[in-house]
Amino acid sequence: MTGSILLGIFIIILVLAAVLVVRTCSRQPTPAMTASVELDKGPRAREYGEQLSKMIQKETVSSRFDSDKTKYYEFHKILEELFPLVHKTCEKHVFNGNLLFKWSGKGKAEPILLMSHQDVVEANGSWEHEPFGGYIDGEGKLWGRGTVDTKGSLYCIFRSVEELIAEGFQPEGDVYIASSCTEEFSGEGAPLTVEYLQSQGVKLSLLIDEGGMIMEEPIGGVKGTYAMVGVLEKGYGDLKFIAKGKGGHASAPGKNTPLVRLGKFMADVEKQDPFTSEFNPTVLEMFRRVTPNMNFGMKFVFSNLWLFKPLLKKLMPVISPPGAAMLHTTIAFTMAKGADGLNVLPQEAYVTANLRFIPHQSTDESIELITEKAKGYDLETEVIYKDYPCPVVNYEGDAFKKVEQAINEIYPGVGVSPYVMTGGTDAKYYKNICDNCIRFAPLYINKQQYESIHGVNENIYIGALPMGVDFYKKIIRGN
């Protein structure tokens, strides 16, 4: 009897293993596995690179503590010199340094909006080339702060409209170009622009902002070249956790003083945060599209998520923190304050935390969960700022397919995948006037260039710019 049971279990295991292997082997590699991007090495790339260099040379570092917009108006002068037809043809609006252009259409097609911000973050650290020098090296790389984030895509937007106007083309529907100078600190630029568009009764059919780009191996273990198109942007929050105590002299400390309680709380959250991980539809579709080009071990797991999903939820933070961030609300502790004296116990201390809220456990629920955990350490929670996750763009809808088709035509063979934006963009402010806010910059970059965003040695291939221009032209022509 026992032998029969063991034999039955063995057969079940054998059949299960066979099913898993068959499902894995059925996922055959896609063209993305061997696709490559051929950079333009001709005069067009050189011309575009030299023009973008002029935009890079104008320092446009933004700060919420600096209200002087002089540098942005000077930057606008550069745009006017580079793109005279845009400025002659389009209706221009400026909202305290933030730009909006309207290119009127000849028909009744629904309007679209293309956007990339003009401001950049500081360029600290040791750079190989001057961060605002706009240097083009012998390999065809343009160096400087903003080349990737996001003057490169801003250039391509303006250039595409400039060339279409020169060709005598007029879109069927209105085309808007927006560029804020406050994106890097979530300032007033995009809200002011949206306020104006709402006052004009504008409802956009499509918006394309910064986001994913075109990269090789966008996820560890995934071979091939992909265009990662952001369709979901998480909500944003800043919280303060406050610990109070009696204070006193540091020579006679008690137990569980404010800083100690804060430390225990942070260690607990890092070890076990209260947020639930879920494979949302966007992430499932992303893995469905990239799984065929994974190495066998990863393909075995991701081809059989019906079995391995619970295990992956636990292991993802170890395997891939960026991947884990797509599954749940994240929390990162960012600032701290204790006593003002080195030998003084604080009567009050605090830490701040930055949270990014996932739709399935949105803003208010996530704040409630972390607040309850903080109470266990006798901490008060103060909400400094909060907003909510944006509507998810349907990857089977017309807007996504329009972007996907343009990518397929400009970058043959390159895979296209939706994904979750873990950072923030200006697109979040447009959710009341657009149901299809897509986060994608149509430029090819390598791993070093991706990692240089907000870091040192930011640079971009000038040979990638012509394809970026052609992408936006296809989007506009298809309007």
Number of domain units in the chain: 2
Handedness of CA 78, 98, 172, 396 (dihedral sign): positive
Whether 205 is in a domain gets the answer yes
Does 414 lie in the same domain as 292? no
Does 138 lie in the same domain as 216? yes
Which CATH number characterizes residue 275's domain?
A: 3.30.70.360
Last residue of a domain, one of 364, 386, 408: 386
What is the average pLDDT across 308-318?
85
Show the domain range for 256.
Answer: 235-386
Does 223 lie in the same domain as 301? no
Whether 22 is in a domain gets the answer no
Binned at pLDDT 50, 70 and 90, residue 9 comes out as low
Does 239 lie in the same domain as 308? yes
Q: Does residue 253 have a pLDDT over 70?
A: yes
- Per-residue model confidence as pLDDT tens digits over 75-97: 999 999 999 999 999 999 999 99
Whether the CB-CB separation of 79 and 158 falls below 8 Å is answered with: yes
Last residue of a domain, one of 386, 409, 441: 386
Distances (CA, A) of 152 to 26, 101, 146, 169, 217: 40, 18, 7, 24, 22
Does 239 lie in the same domain as 228? no
- Per-residue model confidence as pLDDT tens digits over 399-431: 999 999 999 999 999 999 999 998 889 999 999
| Residues comprising the chain, all counted | 479
Does 457 lie in the same domain as 319? no
Whether 365 is in a domain gets the answer yes
Closest CA to 291 of 355, 223, 237: 223
Whether 26 is in a domain gets the answer no
Last residue of a domain, one of 368, 386, 404: 386
Q: Which residues contact 58 (CB under 8 A, 6 or more apart)?
A: 71, 74, 75, 78, 132
Whether 37 is in a domain gets the answer no
Does 221 lie in the same domain as 157? yes
Does 201 lie in the same domain as 143? yes
- Per-residue model confidence as pLDDT tens digits over 111-161: 999 999 999 999 999 999 999 999 999 999 999 999 999 999 999 999 999
- Per-residue model confidence as pLDDT tens digits over 206-221: 999 999 999 999 988 8
Q: Does residue 467 have a pLDDT over 90?
A: yes
Q: Say how far apart CA 395 and CA 76 lie, in whole Å.
A: 35
Whether 23 is in a domain gets the answer no
Strands 91-95 and 109-115: unpaired
Does 263 lie in the same domain as 346? yes
Does 308 lie in the same domain as 170? no
Does 215 lie in the same domain as 74? yes
Strands 437-444 and 141-143: unpaired
Whether 8 is in a domain gets the answer no
What is the average pLDDT across 13-19?
68
Whether 32 is in a domain gets the answer no
Which CATH number characterizes residue 58's domain?
A: 3.40.630.10
Does 403 lie in the same domain as 361? no
